[in-house]
Structure 1
Amino acid sequence: MNKSLPESLYTADQVRQLDHVAIHQEGIPGFELMTRAARTVLSTIGRYWPEADTLLVLCGAGNNGGDGYLVAKLAKEKGLRVSVLSFKNPAELSGDALTAWRACSDAGVVIRPYDSKQSLCADVIVDAMLGTGLSGDVRGDYLDAIKRLNHLENPVCAVDIPSGLCANTGVPLGDAVKVQLTVSFIGLKQGLMTGQGPEYCGELVFNSLRVPESVYQAVPSSCRRISPGQFRGWLSPRSRAAHKGDFGHVLLIGGNKGMPGAIIMAAESAIHCGAGRVTVVTRKRHLSALAVRCPEVMGTSVKSRSGLGSLADGKNVIVVGPGLGRDDWGLKLLKDALAAECPVVLDADALNLLSDHPQLLKGRKSPMIFTPHPGELARLSGLDVPAIQKNRFAALVDSHRQLTALTGESGAESQQDIALLLKGAGTLIFDGQNTALCSDGNPGMAVAGMGDVLSGIIGALLAQGLEPFRAAQMAVWLHASAADEVVAGQGETGLRATELIPVIRQRMNFIIGH
């Protein structure tokens, strides 16, 4: 993911508000914005495909098509061989789009109506068919063109957003173009960066079109992209007189029969991320493996009937779930963890047990961080996975509301004691008021153990004093960006979760030092 992308992310409606403010309050003509967009697209194509000599531009109606007509005009003036296929009769165009069509035609660009029998052939194809205003499924010639483009080997550059992709959710509306490059303008659309959005938009480039800062101040964004600059001051460099008690005591619970690795990985990541002390509650048979793998971690075993007892006393945070299992042993330990008056991180089987025993949350007042993947959230919320993935943002908000209601608490303060983290491409975090998105990470992370490492990081950050929403954001970024660093040198296939741990430690120390 391009690290120069802005942090503020917007819905389609918010981007339209940005356009409105820029045009009607800042006095920037709409056609001028369209011209700036076209110049940006053409110059970006020149950087990515400098040898390209021929350009085919597919133009729809509205401003997206207008952008495309001006791209074609500028390409013609630059000496490229360019042609346009239009999806809207020019007689039906209006406003800036009509002005752009006329400028393109006057420049001598050959403009033909789209025909499914025509060849789609050029060094680069420009997708300017459908923009952010699309609400229903793609149909007709648009659908035909999208299907044909997705079977071509020619590189495709999308203007603002790939045609057919929902700007709000990142879900194809019937179908969408899978492009190699997307050049987005004014406000970065949240749907480009979560769910299926990254798969469809390819490399993402953003340009504000020199819209002044006052425009952005007038329209609040729906979501914020996590970047390391936001972490400044969250954790301070350690005092020369520091001792282990200053950095919290994490209690990790899990590792049922046959699952020692999950809780060991969580413990190892917690100790590497700065927790002063780490204690693991697991099955007796796993204690020797824990001591060999991570001797810095304390370990103890318990039986189902005894539960945690006094083990939760004096702990700053509890992480429960990695390898927990769903038997009586796991259920008893989960009950005891939720009864403790300290922050609790709930992962893996803790979430699955809660889906069967939601009453365990009743009366819970201390902070909690839930870390489900879509399948776990489906079981927890009663939604199904397709419904969650169709609108990850809405599913996050609805599920957070359900979890808050289960505790029996109400009000903004109690909502913000719960942070809900939805894993997947473009991981989302919501605290009842604010939404954060992680644009880092890669498909190599689709491997067992990644969630266990993440839960340990979150626990360590909570133990060092971060509140839930901040702890979740920093942990997700450390986790994802470390994975990006590892695969940059070795490739995505075969990535192991434990490879991330030393890199996470390095990144965390760099953040604290800067």
Structure 2
Amino acid sequence: MTTDQMIEVDRLMIEVYNIELIQMMENAGRCLAMVAVEEFLKTALENKKVVVLAGNGGNGGGALVCARRLHSLGCNIYVYLANADKMTPVPNHQLSILKNMGVPIVDPEYLDKVSSADLIIDGLVGYSINGDPRGKVKDMIDWANEQEAPVLALDTPSGLDLTTGTVHNPTIKAAATLTLALPKHGLFEKKAVPKVGNLFLGNISVPPALYGTSTIGLLVSSQLFVESDVVRLS
């Protein structure tokens, strides 16, 4: 899909099927946690440290759901928010749950005090990227790219345009990416592939028939996620 098609998927999910953003966000975060455990953290989760980098929009909200699930599994979770004062309502709801659970919420200015981590979750910028990342988001991407810990990105490595494959400055260099609903064109562009890492597809419960509407025009099998809500693509 293109970014415009994904925007239309989100619209139809909410306006036609009454599948709300919070439900899609829950599914995204659940799938992301599955990849985090199965591909990176493996076992002895109580000994694993995970740094979650979250933006203020839907991408950040999915990362916060992942943080909650990994925390519940025993991982040591530290959440760093790019723009805590600009959180949109649904991600802010996810943030309030984490606060109630006692998960540490930290300002990104303290990232340089992080000594090590087993995994970094990138939920800074999703398909709404508009030019080069700036401000705190830029600083957080730069920090992540300097770490030895692998980075698992949600939907796209922050900084990568999902339609064109444009690699903005800076862009997360991910060890793996969980994209959502359907793969996006930009993930397969030659210059983008090294940033994407291993590619997974996550089920956010889009009805297959939705893709066949006149505004999207794609034929998608109902068997796409029959074996698992996460499908490895590369």
Pair 151,183 (structure 1): closer, same or farther in 2 beyond 3 Å: same
Could you tell me which residue of structure 2 aligns to residue 246 of structure 1? none
Which of the residues 4, 11, 15 maps onto 2:2?
11
Pair 221,120 (structure 1): closer, same or farther in 2 beyond 3 Å: farther
Could you tell me which residue of structure 2 aligns to residue 129 of structure 1? 124
Shift, 1:130, TM fit: 0.8
**Does the 8 Å CA contact 1:38/1:71 hold for their aligned counterparts?**
yes
Equivalent residue letter for 1:105 = K
- Where structure 2 has 5 or more consecutive residues not aligned to the other structure, the ranges are 221-232
Written as runs of structure 1 = structure 2, the 5 A alignment for 1:434-513 is none
Shift, 1:27, TM fit: 1.1
Shift, 1:155, TM fit: 0.7
Shift, 1:213, TM fit: 1.0
Q: SS state of the match for residue 41, structure 1?
A: helix
Shift, 1:14, TM fit: 1.1
Q: Distance in 1 between matches of 2:154 and 2:78?
A: 16
Segments ≥4 residues shifted beyond 6 Å: none
Q: SS state of the match for residue 37, structure 1?
A: helix
Could you tell me which residue of structure 2 aligns to residue 38 of structure 1? 29
Equivalent residue letter for 1:217 = G
Equivalent residue letter for 1:152 = Q
Structure with the largest fraction of helix? 1
Q: SS state of the match for residue 112, structure 2?
A: coil
Q: Distance in 2 between matches of 1:188 and 1:24?
A: 23
Shift, 1:120, TM fit: 6.3
**Does the 8 Å CA contact 1:72/1:84 hold for their aligned counterparts?**
yes
Written as runs of structure 1 = structure 2, the 5 A alignment for 1:304-343 is none
Could you tell me which residue of structure 2 aligns to residue 28 of structure 1? 19
Q: Distance in 2 between matches of 1:87 and 1:221?
A: 36
Q: What do residues 393-434 of structure 1 show as CA deviations (whole Å, max 9, x unaligned)?
A: xxxxxxxxxxxxxxxxxxxxxxxxxxxxxxxxxxxxxxxxxx
Answer yes or no: is 1:206 the counterpart of 2:197.
Answer: no
Which of the residues 102, 105, 113 maps onto 2:107?
113
Q: Which has the higher contact order (CA 8 A, sep 6+)?
A: 2
Written as runs of structure 1 = structure 2, the 5 A alignment for 1:280-299 is none
Q: Distance in 2 between matches of 1:132 and 1:121?
A: 29
Q: SS state of the match for residue 170, structure 1?
A: coil
Q: Considering only CA atoms, is the larger Rg found in Structure 1 or Structure 2?
A: 1
Answer yes or no: is 1:48 the counterpart of 2:48.
Answer: no
Equivalent residue letter for 1:97 = P
**Does the 8 Å CA contact 1:56/1:122 hold for their aligned counterparts?**
yes
Answer yes or no: is 1:100 the counterpart of 2:94.
Answer: yes
Shift, 1:221, TM fit: 5.9
Q: Distance in 1 between matches of 2:7 and 2:93?
A: 20
Q: Distance in 2 between matches of 1:114 and 1:20?
A: 32
Equivalent residue letter for 1:61 = N
Answer yes or no: is 1:142 the counterpart of 2:133.
Answer: no
Could you tell me which residue of structure 2 aligns to residue 220 of structure 1? 216
Moved more, 159-168 or 140-149: 140-149
Equivalent residue letter for 1:145 = M
Shift, 1:199, TM fit: 1.0
Q: Distance in 1 between matches of 2:94 and 2:216?
A: 30
**Does the 8 Å CA contact 1:83/1:109 hold for their aligned counterparts?**
yes
Q: What do residues 93-127 of structure 1 show as CA deviations (whole Å, max 9, x unaligned)?
A: 22211111112211211101111533263111100
Written as runs of structure 1 = structure 2, the 5 A alignment for 1:152-191 is 152-191=147-186
Q: Percent identity?
A: 26
Q: SS state of the match for residue 188, structure 1?
A: coil
- Pairwise CA RMSD: 2.0
Q: Distance in 1 between matches of 2:177 and 2:126?
A: 12
Q: Distance in 2 between matches of 1:81 and 1:189?
A: 32
